[in-house]
C-alpha cells in the first residue's frame, strides 16, 4: 500500500513537467506551402488558469503570409516586422511578415487539467531544412509567466522549458528519366547499324547476281 502511495505521488509530481507548449505537426518538408501550424497549450497548474499565450516567430527563417484562426473565448493580436530584403513568391514579393502573435483569454481561459489549440495558416515555410524554433510565453491567472524558450543542445538535450520546434526535412531531388539504347539480340549493335548491315548484304547479293548474268552471256556459256 505504501509503495502504491509513493508511486502515485511520483506520477503526480512528474506529470506537469512532461506537459509543455508544442507545435503540430512536428515535421514538414522544407518549402511546403499552405500549411496549418497548431500550438497546443496545456495547463500545468492546479491553482490557476492559463489566460495568455504569446508565440514568437523566427526572424532568420520567416514564415510568409501568416493568418490566425479565431479561438472562441480568446482574442488575438498580430505584430509584424519589415524584412530587410523582400522574399519573392509566386504571388509577388513579401516584405512584411508576422513577428509574434498574442492570444488573450476573454473568459476563463484554460482550466487545470485542460488544454487549448491555437492554429495559424502559413502560406509557405522556409525552403532550407532544419529546425524552426517558436519561443513562447504562457501566462497564468496568478500572474506567473512560464517562458518556453530553451533550445535543446548537446550540453542540454532535455531542457526544462523547451521551445516548440518544427523540423523541416529535405525535399527529395527529382529523378532523371533513364535513357535506353535500342539493340539487336543483346550484341550491342544499334538499330541503325543493323539496318546498314542488312543494306550491305542486299547490295552484295545484287552484285553477285549481276556477275553471274555477265558470265552466262559470254560465248560458250562457261567461265574462261
Q: What strands lie across the sheet with 27-29, from one edge to the other?
A: 27-29, 165-169, 130-133
Mean pLDDT, rounded, for 127-136: 95
pLDDT tens column, 172-209: 766 665 655 554 455 544 555 666 666 665 566 555 65
**Res 15: pLDDT:** 39
In sequence order, the 6+-apart residues with CB closer than 8 A to the CB of 46 are 112
How far is the C-alpha of 191 from the C-alpha of 17, rounded, in Å? 72
**Residue 106 lies in domain:** 19-169
Predicted local distance difference test score (pLDDT) of residue 212? 47
Q: How many distinct structural domains can be found in the chain?
A: 2
Q: Answer yes or no: do 121 and 213 share one domain.
A: no
Average pLDDT of 155-179? 84
Q: Which three cell numbers stand for residue 32?
A: 511546403
Q: What is the CATH number of the domain that holds 52?
A: 2.60.40.2230
| Partner residues linked to 24 by β-bridges | 38
Matching residue, cell 567461265: 223
Q: What is the per-residue pLDDT across 90-106, written as a single tens digit (0 to 9) for each?
A: 777 888 999 999 999 99
Q: Is the pLDDT of residue 71 over 80?
A: yes
What whole-number distance in Å separates Cα of residue 41 and Cα of residue 114?
9
Report the chain's mean pLDDT, rounded to a whole number: 81
Amino acid at each position: 500500500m505504501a509503495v502504491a502511495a509513493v508511486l502515485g505521488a511520483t506520477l503526480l509530481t512528474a506529470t506537469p513537467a512532461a506537459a509543455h507548449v508544442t507545435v503540430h505537426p512536428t515535421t514538414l518538408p522544407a518549402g511546403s506551402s499552405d500549411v496549418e501550424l497548431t500550438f497546443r497549450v496545456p495547463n500545468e497548474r492546479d491553482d490557476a488558469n492559463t489566460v495568455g499565450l504569446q508565440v514568437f516567430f523566427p526572424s532568420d527563417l520567416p514564415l510568409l503570409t501568416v493568418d490566425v484562426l479565431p479561438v472562441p473565448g480568446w482574442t488575438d493580436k498580430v505584430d509584424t516586422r519589415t524584412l530587410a530584403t523582400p522574399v519573392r513568391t509566386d504571388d509577388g514579393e513579401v516584405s512584411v511578415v508576422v513577428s509574434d502573435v498574442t492570444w488573450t483569454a476573454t473568459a476563463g481561459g484554460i482550466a487545470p487539467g485542460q488544454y487549448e489549440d491555437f492554429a495559424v495558416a502559413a502560406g509557405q515555410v522556409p525552403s532550407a531544412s532544419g529546425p524552426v524554433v517558436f519561443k513562447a510565453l504562457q501566462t497564468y491567472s496568478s500572474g506567473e509567466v512560464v517562458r518556453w524558450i530553451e533550445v535543446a543542445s548537446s550540453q542540454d538535450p532535455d531542457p526544462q522549458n523547451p521551445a516548440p520546434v518544427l523540423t523541416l526535412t529535405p525535399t527529395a531531388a527529382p529523378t532523371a528519366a533513364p535513357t535506353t539504347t535500342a539493340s539487336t539480340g543483346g550484341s550491342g549493335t544499334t538499330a541503325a547499324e543493323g539496318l546498314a548491315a542488312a543494306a550491305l548484304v542486299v547490295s552484295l547479293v545484287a552484285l553477285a547476281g549481276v556477275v553471274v548474268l555477265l558470265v552466262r552471256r559470254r560465248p560458250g556459256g562457261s567461265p574462261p
